[in-house]
Structure 1
């Protein structure tokens, strides 16, 4: 499940924290990196478990309405939602239940959040169209949950706040993890029953190693990579770069230099996007130009054996005067093994 987009986010966060921490210990930092990635996988399972918790809450509500209908001679409530074939299959999933059984936190601990989400679902057009529909196929049931997840669970401020309270590791994870939950919903097959496979934590061992190698090469070669940045900035005062800009470019250079199978254009685009997310408003354009210049120099001097990407618009050096969040340059590696 953990992909390289999420790994890059974690490496940026950890590298930033590593330089802020006076006690720079590489082994401890690598363990923290793997722990933060593991926590992202926990979030993936908890969000799947939220579907089960919502179904359980709706089941409780239906029971109350059913008893009231019997008592007062009212129309019986529809039980279609609580009998949703996809949700029932997920509820019985062996892999998910094994995970949830070993956790101290359960959605019942945040039942008010679950109830608020249920209220949103019941008032949604997607839900009411589903209840009125005569299509009772598994595909229709699965599609309902894909739509509900995309429209109600994604970008839900109440849910986001609750998750952040549970784990600091989840602050920036949900947007990426949401995509994997939706992917999992679409992959469910009724033929697999309780043995339906969820996404693994890592697609393969190479992704786990990518995380470790990217972080280690970033720290171990900091002085060299910062020299590349200084040379690319020509006469501009390198020390006035925003602290996060330096961190992001340092990691980007580590990726360009040490991972021959990743195209230069992919690396630049990924870190430009991270700069827009984590640094100053103008950082994306500046880092775009800096990395393009550095990458071309590395290719031309034979330090990197990759195709040179098409020329990119160079919008850096002289025009970069944004002083917000400026900090001294990150120091070189002083790690304690």
Structure 2
């Protein structure tokens, strides 16, 4: 589930934090990196529980209506379609999801009101009303209503942003990516799935773990070397006036370009240009691209950038 882009982003954030304090050791930086990646995996499981929590709200509202002094026919014979949603039932029964939430002591306890508010909003949507009133629905319809809620409501759900800020400082920039992974999981579910259906693993391969370890170590240990390369190839700029985030992005990019022989230079450059578009100023990506291009050409001329296997691909 953890992508290399997320790893790069997390390391960039840690480099920024390190630049603000002088006493951070390599060991503590690495520990913080893997803790923050673990928190992203926590958030993945929380995202999968959003439909389950909405189903609980639906059940609660139905029970409240039944307890009225003078319940209507609709109160006593409620529409149970969303409660009986087969996709949500798979999530409720998934052993890995339940075990993970229990072992890591995470969940949506204490946030009932925000789910009630979200469900009230969802109930008014045309797509939800169409789902609830259709004569018959199949598993695809059950999946569709859940994915529509996650795609259309969650990204603009202000209460969620506030809740996640309260729960963990590590989730500030993770929501979009993790929500995408939750949607990928849900869209991959089948009606025939059993409670033993595995969720996405935290890492696709062991190579991603090694990538994270090596990248943060090289970026920190070789900082001065990378800074000197940047200084040499940004002669039209006062090095001391280069924006801190621009400097950190180039520092991290050089660590990857120089130290990872199997990653093509172009792939690395594109990744860090994308990071610059998100975390730096409007024109930073052009500046960063220009400096890195000069550094790479110089290092290649000196045979200091060696690529093998997939790293030789330049397209």
Q: Which residue of 2 aligns with 1:86?
A: 87
8 Å CA contact 1:12–1:247 kept in 2: the answer is: yes
Matches of 1:124 and 1:297 in 2, distance apart?
58
TM-score normalised per structure 2: 0.93
CA drift of 1:68 comes to 4.7
Of the structure 1 ranges 19-28 and 162-171, higher mean CA displacement relative to structure 2 is found in 19-28
Can you give the 5+ residue segments of structure 1 that lack an aligned partner in the other structure? 311-337
Matches of 1:263 and 1:65 in 2, distance apart?
61
TM-score normalised per structure 1: 0.87
CA drift of 1:72 comes to 3.1
Q: Which residue of 2 aligns with 1:23?
A: 23
The one-character-per-residue Cα deviations of 1:303-333 (angstroms, maximum 9, x if unpaired) are 11345958xxxxxxxxxxxxxxxxxxxxxxx
Aligned runs of 1:121-132 on 2, under 5 Å? 121-132=122-133
Matches of 2:141 and 2:220 in 1, distance apart?
50
Of the structure 1 ranges 255-264 and 165-174, higher mean CA displacement relative to structure 2 is found in 255-264
CA drift of 1:62 comes to 2.1
Aligned runs of 1:230-309 on 2, under 5 Å? 230-306=231-307
Q: Which residue of 2 aligns with 1:141?
A: 142
CA drift of 1:281 comes to 2.3
Q: Which residue of 2 aligns with 1:195?
A: 196
SS in 2 for 1:261: coil
8 Å CA contact 1:225–1:253 kept in 2: the answer is: yes
8 Å CA contact 1:189–1:196 kept in 2: the answer is: no
Matches of 1:267 and 1:191 in 2, distance apart?
41
How many residue pairs were aligned?
310
Matches of 1:137 and 1:195 in 2, distance apart?
22
Q: Which residue of 1 aligns with 2:14?
A: 14
Matches of 2:126 and 2:263 in 1, distance apart?
43
8 Å CA contact 1:107–1:114 kept in 2: the answer is: no
8 Å CA contact 2:65–2:71 kept in 1: the answer is: no
Q: Which residue of 2 aligns with 1:54?
A: 54
8 Å CA contact 1:228–1:294 kept in 2: the answer is: yes
SS in 2 for 1:191: coil
Q: Which residue of 1 aligns with 2:113?
A: 112
8 Å CA contact 2:90–2:193 kept in 1: the answer is: no
Change (3 A) 1:80 1:223: same
8 Å CA contact 1:296–1:308 kept in 2: the answer is: no
8 Å CA contact 2:143–2:187 kept in 1: the answer is: yes
Change (3 A) 1:84 1:304: same
